[in-house]
A and B are shown apart, each in its own frame.
Chain A
Amino acid sequence: MNQTLKSIIARFGFLIIIVAFVIFFSAVNPVFLGGDNLMNIVEGSAILLIVALGMTLIVATGGIDLSVGIALDFGAAFAIVAMKEYGFGWYGAALIGISGGAIVGLLNAALIVGLKVSPFLATLGTFFIGSSVQRIFTNGGGPISHRRMPQEFRDLAVGDVFGIPTEVVIAAVLVLAYFIVMERSIIGRRVHALGMQRSAARVAGLKVNKYLILCFVAASMTAAVGGLIASANIRMFTPLSGFSYLLDAIAAVFIGAALHPRGRPNIPGTVIAVLFLGVIANGLNLMGLNFNTKDALSGIILVSALALVVAQQKLRH
């Protein structure tokens, strides 16, 4: 009996934790389990999920990207300015926004591949530079509002596709694309190899630099998509708002990696982790907890959940 219990925990440990939280939250407040609220959780997690996808890719290369928030801000800023100042249509604005993100990724790649700066310090530098650029551009950080944006652009955040919110659809498409590339394609195989052991990947003839550039640019462009949705939602660009996603995205990637049997950063793990973070935030919200205590509780839950995952991995062996 004890043995079967152990093997069940070993196999489904983290899912059990999530289900336990869902039961607990719905017991405290029945609204939690309502269809509307569940969709709220998913919808509220969409931007974080998008940012976390790119972060998963970067962590798989053995690096970290502290400038995803900047890429998100650039995505929003470039799109809003393109529409407001230059009269671009919605798709033109979207493309320009994503290109804005690409600039951030290219700067990171130039520092990391060209100047051999470590990803941590390179993206930290990009973070400082990008933050300052935003303040200069907005004369100290005032938002750029664009109330009369094209409805199609606005729909990125508030529209729906066959009843499913557009941002959820966008996130789902990106999840699928990232899943195929990272978990099923030979590109993903190479990225994992160079992330685990750079020197061995190099000797095996992999074009390490090429893949590093690709990954950093792709991650920034992905974060910029998150920026498009954020700006469409509030119809303005708020400087430095992307930073709030950084730590959550990093947390999600590492929770997700802990869920993997070999500890690799992976897309399904990241998706589960983002939803887990969403469930906790939403559940604690519905319990009407004091705003100040919420973060502490989230932290405690997060650390305990991770400790359980580690215990679970020990059980497996």
Chain B
Amino acid sequence: MSASVLLMQDIAKTFPGVVALDAASLSVRPGEIHGLVGENGAGKSTIIKVLAGVYHADDGTVSIQDTPVSPVTSEVIHAAGVRFIHQELHLVPHFTVTESVFMGQEITTRLGLSRRLMCARAETFFRDVLDVEINGDILIRDLGTAERKLVQIARALIDDQARLVVFDEPTAPLASGEIEKLFRAIRRLKDRGIAIIYVSHYLSEITDICDRVTVFRNGRDVAVLDKVDENCANELIKAMVGREIDALYPKSGHTRGALVLQAKGLGDTGYFSDISLSAHSGEIVGIAGLIGSGREELIDTLYGLRPARTGEVTLHGKPVRFSSPADAVARGMVLVPRDRRRDGLVLDMSVSENINLASLEEVSCYGIELRNRARERASRQIRELDIRPDNPAIISRQLSGGNQQKTVLARWLATRAAIFLLDEPTVGVDVGAKVEIYQLIENLARNGAAILLSSSDPGELIGMCDRVLVMMRGRITHETSAVGLSIDQLVAMTTGASTQNSAEGHADAR
């Protein structure tokens, strides 16, 4: 058996003005799950694209099974048995599973397409290789996200030629319960002797599933961990950011102030019902729950993006009924949305335009925008939040996820908002920016803001919040203090494995 299934050595790639890869190396052994981590811009997606033949490296060598590959083109790489599972699903919703798996590689007999044969082959593949039962005749749109991911995997592997599979952020669209399904499939592939490269932002996933890890920083491989267990997360973070991070979450010590936001009996048929919650000034209240628990719809309803069918909301003791986000913003309640590229920023506007968008009155005189004042104001926010690059005129689309998120926060900090709804505020954000965003949230709370933090990351909820509400199937099933709460306990509550009684014990302990 050869020593490495893939060996990339001293790969260099320069784009105009940016060194994306600078003598970076990556070595993957046969039959291992090899993690690839790094902050945004560290070069991990660039090296994957070099391997895929999307980018042509300026320098360096690529060998597969000890055979040098040159030039690296997508055809050669495919023929050598390397497959890519991209982050996006790229599946046609109204195709069947079988059609999706065999698209572009249909099995034909003399009579044309052999639908029966393909269907049987697909179902066998799901059963034997991925250890799931998926009906080949079902439509993609009727599948859950995890199953769709498995269809995507089947499509890449059905020809049985794969030796190395690259997973690029495979869990991004998945709920936590679905991730285990995917992991089981990945481990099955490993058992069949297929090597795997696993690219992810989520360190808990890396430590969970990977055998070895390569850490990228500034276009180089800065560390390789040969032994991976749950204790090496700190070591990984240190290697990724290049400095010691003493704590992911800032030390919290909040003084709970006046009652600011209260909801009673809020309901929207089919999504959630009988939701009562409250948030005080200076308090961070977490909302936990799986995808489909009604958590997202609840946040949208509080913000006026969806109408509430029943129940009432009071702000500072006065009943309010928001018919649009404009009403909420006018009353000092703002949202950092979960899909920041769709709802958070106007991507084709500059950072300065985005920062000032919600408070244009303050940079205008009789309705005419005072451009210098707007730019100065944006520059101040950019400095304070350390948004990089620190150029107010740059188009928001060009920023990394973390800096885009900081831009959304900067916009709301420029208003006099007192209630912050944060929906997945650190999703797709690298560790360095995460720490900064947590510090920002903490500062907001200390300055007396009331914060609702909705998240699918249990560590984040426990680390940041004072109290956590757990939603399941549209209802709040638990309310508990975050102090002393363990991740296992919280996960058990969100998945319904925990009993009602233990939670009430927690609530009393407050």
Contacts and interface: CB of A to CB of B under 8 A. Distances in A.
A196 B360 contact: no
24 contacts: A180-B368, A184-B368, A185-B367, A186-B367, A186-B368, A186-B369, A190-B360, A196-B346, A196-B347, A196-B348, A197-B347, A197-B348, A202-B305, A203-B305, A203-B344, A204-B325, A204-B329, A204-B357, A204-B358, A205-B326, A205-B329, A205-B334, A207-B324, A207-B326
A206 B357 contact: yes
**Complex A-B, nearest 7 residue pairs according to Cβ-Cβ distance, in ascending order:** A205-B329, A186-B360, A197-B346, A203-B343, A207-B326, A186-B364, A204-B357
A205 B361 CA distance: 13
B345 interface: yes
Contacts of B334: 205
A193 B343 CA distance: 12
A206 B361 CA distance: 12
Given A186-B361, A193-B357, A205-B358, A200 B345 contact: yes
Contacts, number: 82
Contacts of A207: 324, 326
Interface in A191-232: 192-193, 196-197, 199-209
A188 B335 CA distance: 24
Contacts of B344: 200, 203
A193 B349 CA distance: 8
A189 interface: yes
Q: Sort chain B's interface into a size bin.
A: 20 to 34
A314 interface: no
B337 interface: yes
A168 B324 CA distance: 42
B302 interface: no
Given A193-B353, A200-B344, A206 B369 contact: no
Interface of B: 303, 305, 324-326, 328-330, 334-335, 337, 342-349, 353, 356-358, 360-361, 363-364, 367-369, 395, 411
Given A189-B357, A199-B343, A203-B303, 15 more contacts: A186-B361, A186-B364, A187-B367, A188-B369, A189-B356, A190-B357, A190-B360, A193-B346, A193-B353, A196-B348, A197-B347, A199-B342, A200-B342, A200-B345, A202-B326
A148 interface: no
Contacts of A185: 364, 367-369
Interface residues of A, number: 24
Interface in A161-199: 180, 184-190, 192-193, 196-197, 199
Contacts of A197: 342, 345-348
A207 B360 CA distance: 13
Nearest to A181: B367
A116 interface: no
A207 to B, nearest CB: 5
B360 A189 contact: yes
A18 to B, nearest CB: 27
A280 B305 CA distance: 49
A82 B348 CA distance: 47
Contacts of A199: 342-343
Given A185-B369, A206-B326, A201 B361 contact: no
Interface string A22-36: 000000000000000
A202 B322 CA distance: 13
